[in-house]
Structure 1
Amino acid sequence: MPKLSPADVPEVKLDSAAAPIEACLSRDQRRGLFEKPGTTVYAIVALTSKSYTGHAEGEDKDPQVKVRITECEVARSDEDAAALADAKRAMWRGRQIDGTLDEVGEGPQRPDAALLDVTVSKPTEDELKAHKRRQEQRRRDEYVR
């Protein structure tokens, strides 16, 4: 990897591979995005750097890194979307305080507060494992019949 000087700030480009996004959108969400331009869905994504374009000494080309969405979960209810929007606004306020934005938005002071409220009603890891065990047992029972 090339070393960047403290003054260099790479441009970030989004890679075109969108499989994680497509996989997490429901059929209705996909149709809504297509049929109603301007539709917004809220999602939690993980970005992973996949490639970079370095810059040679003395060349007048800005450094660039390409990122890919490697994990994605999309809000499937109004409650989930509101929690993600609240978290986004809270993080946005943090960037404003850090001096990267000019205006302050609305929302909770802690982004995790809204998410904790919503995640209380979601299954835990143990509940998911138990569900998968029940599904597997049902498959075995049906196979035996």
Structure 2
Amino acid sequence: MPKLSPADVPEVKLDAAAAAVEASMTREQRRGLFEKPGTVVYAIVELTSKSYTGHAEDEDKPAQVKVRVTGCEVARTDEDAAALVEARRAMYRGRQIDGTFDEVGQGPMRPDASLSGLMASKPSEDELREYKRRREQDRQDEYVR
């Protein structure tokens, strides 16, 4: 893997594979994006670097890295979307305060604090495991009948 100088900032290109995004969307969301141009959906995405284009010293091309969406969850309710919007705003304010932008935001705010109320209403890992266990048990019971 090539080493970049501290001054080099690679361009980030999004890989065309969007299966993780599509798989996390409902049928209605996909139809809405198609039928109503300008429709917005909110998602949490996981990006993984998949390939890079190194740059030779005598080339005038910037370094590039290609990323792919390898994990995604799309908000399916207005409550979920509002929480993601608030988390995005909080993160944006953080970038402003960190000096990425010229204007100053309302003050520091942790996105995880914005999501804590929403997370309380979502299933825990233990609840998911229990659900899967019960579903498997129901399948086995059906098979026995």
TM-score range, shorter chain: over 0.9
- The alignment yields a C-alpha RMSD, in angstroms, of 1.5
Asked whether the 8 Å contact 1:54–1:63 carries over to 2, the reply is yes
Residues 95-134 of structure 1 correspond to what in structure 2 (within 5 A)? 95-104=95-104, 109-134=109-134
Q: Is 1:141 aligned to residue 132 of structure 2?
A: no
Map 1:1-145 to 2 at 5 A. Answer: 1-104=1-104, 109-145=109-145
The Cα of 1:9 is off from its aligned counterpart by 0.4
State the secondary structure of the residue aligned to 2:134. Answer: helix
Q: How many equivalent residue pairs?
A: 145
**CA offset at residue 57 of structure 1?**
1.2
* Contact preservation (8 Å) 1:17, 1:69: yes
- Displacement after TM superposition at 1:58 (Å): 2.0
Equivalent residue letter for 2:11: E
Structure 2 gap ranges (5+): none
Percent identical among aligned pairs is 76
1:113 partner letter:
A
Shift of 1:105: 5.7
Q: Which amino acid aligns with 2:5?
A: S
Q: Is the 8 A contact 2:53 2:64 kept in 1?
A: yes
In 2, distance between residues paired with 1:39 and 1:60?
A: 39
Provide the rounded CA distance (Å) in 2 between the counterparts of 1:122 and 1:129: 14
Amino acid at match of 2:42: Y
Structure 1 alignment gaps of length 5 or more: none
CA distance in 2, matches of 1:41, 1:108: 26
**Compared with structure 1, are the counterparts of its residues 128 and 80 closer, same or farther at alpha carbon in structure 2 (3 Å cutoff)?**
same
Please report the TM-score for the alignment, with normalisation by the length of structure 1: 0.95
